[in-house]
Amino acid sequence: SLGYEVIVPSFGTRNWLSIAAKAKKIAREEKPDVVHIFNVPDIIYHGFGKLRGLAYKKLIFDYRSPWGIELAQTFGPPGRIFAERFERELARSADVITAVNEPLAEKVLQYSPGKAVHIVPNYPLRSFSEKVVDTHLGEFKAEPGTEPVVFIGRVCTQEGIVKLLEVARSLPEREFWIVGGGPFASFYLWRMPENIKNLGWQPHDKVAAILRQARLCLIPREENALTPYSTEKSVWKLNEYLALGKMVVASGVTAREKRKNLKIVKPQELVDAVRESLLHRPEKLLPEDCRFWEGNEGAIREVYQSL
């Protein structure tokens, strides 16, 4: 929409070493004016800064997630040291840095003080909230008064599957829908309560229709070192829920801006918060309450024009 020609490469593999080699090869062949890198895993772009002038002219580093802190959850301090080495390399190599929210902007500035950082939040496209609902939803159809609590995402501890199961067991009269999966999903869900319906991964064009059936949407994360960097600007599903006017109860997320129909609580307060929220209907959204990707156009234009 800004008038730039954009090439989005397809690598055909998830192997980091293969992607790293292919990314450099594509840059050398296409010789773009600007390379826009989205981080995680940052190691893929090790040495990319040295290609400036040979394969491209300018580099944008899009800092969307603190990879070092993520690795520390599994590998401890050595994991953080390893990952942040590559975060630092990219931040120092970049001509411009973007971040999804203020906490991440503050963190990436520690690697390259004085460099401009532009905030570009994770908001859905306006078209997502305008999708026509299929009246023949089959298994995704909820009768009035029986609308489910919906969770969409990866079935894993980081996304809060243990807490979700706890909430479902505490509210046996309410149906819960899980839309998602993961390599260990069957392990976590093999003894799930009877009031949980596992829908598995669904095409994104069906997600809006499923969400419209929801009575409430849930983000049941535990608090950890990632929590300060997870805000209402960065959690993609949270913004999809809110864009459809749904009530959202979330834990393991940091509130930086007051949003209508969003309740952020401590993980230990989640059951009571869900129970209380189910007694109320979401407030009607006004135009100023809506957050869509199109609202980032000015910030994105500023990023590219600064080059």
Alpha helical stretches, state H, 31-154: 67-93, 102-109, 126-129
Convert the pLDDT of each residue in 245-272 to its tens digit. 999 999 999 988 999 999 999 999 999 9
Tell me if 16-122+294-305 shares its fold with 126-289.
yes
Q: According to the model, what pLDDT value does residue 135 have? A: 47
List Cβ neighbours of 282 (8 Å cut-off, separation of 6 or more). 245, 246, 247, 260, 261
**pLDDT at 74 > cutoff 80:** yes
Phi, psi torsion values for 181, nearest 5 degrees: -175, -160
Q: According to the model, what pLDDT value does residue 1 have? A: 66
CATH architecture observed for domain 16-122+294-305:
3-Layer(aba) Sandwich (3.40)
Lowest mean pLDDT across 2-11, 25-34, 60-69: 2-11
Give the residues across from 118 on adjacent strands. 98
Among 33, 36, 37, smallest CA distance to 67 is for 37
Q: Residues 226, 69: contact at Cβ < 8 Å?
A: yes
Q: Residues 35, 58: contact at Cβ < 8 Å?
A: yes
3-state SS of 112-141 is CCCCCEEECCCCCCHHHHCCCCCCCCHHHC
- The DSSP letter of residue 41 is S
Please state the length of the chain. 307
Q: How distant is the alpha carbon of residue 79 from its chain centre?
A: 22
CA–CA separation, 83 and 88 (whole Å): 9
- The DSSP letter of residue 165 is H
Q: Which CATH class is domain 126-289?
A: alpha beta
pLDDT confidence tier of residue 205, bands split at 50, 70 and 90: confident
Spatial strand order in the sheet of 58-63: 34-38, 58-63, 96-99, 117-119
Q: Vertex 259, ends 177 and 1: CA angle to 5°?
A: 90
The residues spanned by each domain of the chain are 16-122+294-305, 126-289
Between strands 262-265 and 248-251, the pairing is: parallel
- The DSSP letter of residue 181 is -
Convert the pLDDT of each residue in 211-251 to its tens digit. 999 999 999 999 999 999 999 999 999 999 999 999 999 99
**pLDDT at 133 > cutoff 80:** no
Give the residues across from 177 on adjacent strands. 150, 197
Convert the pLDDT of each residue in 276-292 to its tens digit. 999 999 999 999 999 99
